[in-house]
Structure 1
Amino acid sequence: MLFARLVLLVQALVWGGLGLLYWIRPYEMANLSGMLLMEPSSVSDARVFYGGHQFALALFLVFALRRRLLVRPALILVILVQLTLTLSRLLIAWTEGGMEWDAQLAGVVYRGVISALAIFALYWLERQSRNRQVVVREEPEPEERKADFEGL
């Protein structure tokens, strides 16, 4: 459980940090991926969709860190979001002829690594859960309890 929570904590910090950066410095963050924010509406869109979404996801992960029952769903969220973004970026690079070493490639590497770590953490949690179910055995009732019900 500790490893899974560490994966979630790292991802929450990354999403939270990026979300805040898109709110505070939308022009600079957009420029990292080659986008230009030309109109006030594009700045607000960058703040909302890049900043707001990432910050909301980070808040959910922080909430999940404090609730044992939400650790698995949070790991699944990280896997689905990050793996989808990774595979999408790789598909686009393949169809468009490659990718340079910049923020996009660094993002692909990070997303691939965090996806793999989240998959491993989820696998480990499932394995531990199965092992706990096998170890739990039914204990025989004490003799005095059986005697109470023999006459019925």
Structure 2
Amino acid sequence: MLFARLVLLAQALIWGGLGLLYWIRPYEMANLSGMLLMEPSSVSDARVFYGGHQFALALFLLFALRRSQLVRPALILVILIQLTLSLSRLLIAWNEGGMGADSQLFGVIYRGVISLLAIGALYWLERQARPQTTVPTEPEKPREADFDGL
């Protein structure tokens, strides 16, 4: 359970940090991926979607850290989001002929690593939760010595 919580904490810190950075410095953060925020509405959208969305996800992961029944769903959330983003980025790179910026490559690597860690943590939790099955044995047959005192 500790490993799963560490994976969730790492992801919560990343999402929380990125969310705050998009709120505080939307122009600089958008420029990292080659986007230009030209209108006040685009700045607002960057703050709300990129900042608020990631910050809300971080808050959920932090909440899940305190509730053991939410650790598995939180790991599944991390896996689905990060794998979807990674596969989307790779599909776009394949379709367009490569990745445009180093930050995109590092993002794909990070998302792949955190996804694998979350999958490993989820797999470990599932193995720990399974009841240990034992093969039932036949009951012992009574022996004559068991009836000597009767």
Give the TM-score range, shorter chain: 0.7 to 0.9
1:102 is aligned with what amino acid?
D
Task: Provide the rounded CA distance (Å) in 2 between the counterparts of 1:52 and 1:99.
Answer: 26
Task: Provide the rounded CA distance (Å) in 2 between the counterparts of 1:99 and 1:82.
Answer: 17
- CA distances 1:3-36 after superposition (whole Å, capped 9, x unpaired): 0000000000000000000000000000000000
Gaps of 5+ in 2: 135-150
Gaps of 5+ in 1: 137-152
Q: Please give the secondary structure, in 1, of the residue aligned with 2:37.
A: coil
User: If the length of structure 2 is used for normalisation, what is the TM-score?
Assistant: 0.87
Match of 1:48 in 2: 48
Task: Provide the rounded CA distance (Å) in 2 between the counterparts of 1:39 and 1:55.
Answer: 23
Task: Provide the rounded CA distance (Å) in 1 between the counterparts of 2:46 and 2:101.
Answer: 23
- CA distances 1:72-128 after superposition (whole Å, capped 9, x unpaired): 000000000000000000000001001145111110000000000000000000011
Q: Please give the secondary structure, in 2, of the residue aligned with 1:134.
A: coil
Match of 2:34 in 1: 34
Q: Please give the secondary structure, in 2, of the residue aligned with 1:103.
A: helix
1:44 is aligned with what amino acid?
S
- 1:134: how far off? 1.6
- 1:135: how far off? 6.9
Task: Report the count of equivalent residues.
Answer: 134
Task: Provide the rounded CA distance (Å) in 2 between the counterparts of 1:135 and 1:90.
Answer: 42
Match of 1:106 in 2: 106
Task: Provide the rounded CA distance (Å) in 2 between the counterparts of 1:111 and 1:32.
Answer: 17
Match of 2:92 in 1: 92
Task: Provide the rounded CA distance (Å) in 2 between the counterparts of 1:24 and 1:69.
Answer: 34
Task: Provide the rounded CA distance (Å) in 2 between the counterparts of 1:87 and 1:25.
Answer: 27
Structure 1's consecutive aligned runs of 4 or more residues displaced over 2 angstroms after TM superposition are none
Task: Provide the rounded CA distance (Å) in 2 between the counterparts of 1:9 and 1:81.
Answer: 16
Correspondences of 1:56-71 after superposition (within 5 Å): 56-71=56-71
Task: Provide the rounded CA distance (Å) in 2 between the counterparts of 1:23 and 1:58.
Answer: 14
User: If the length of structure 1 is used for normalisation, what is the TM-score?
Assistant: 0.86
- CA distances 1:38-68 after superposition (whole Å, capped 9, x unpaired): 0000000000000000000000000000000
Which protein is bigger by CA-based radius of gyration? 2
Match of 1:81 in 2: 81
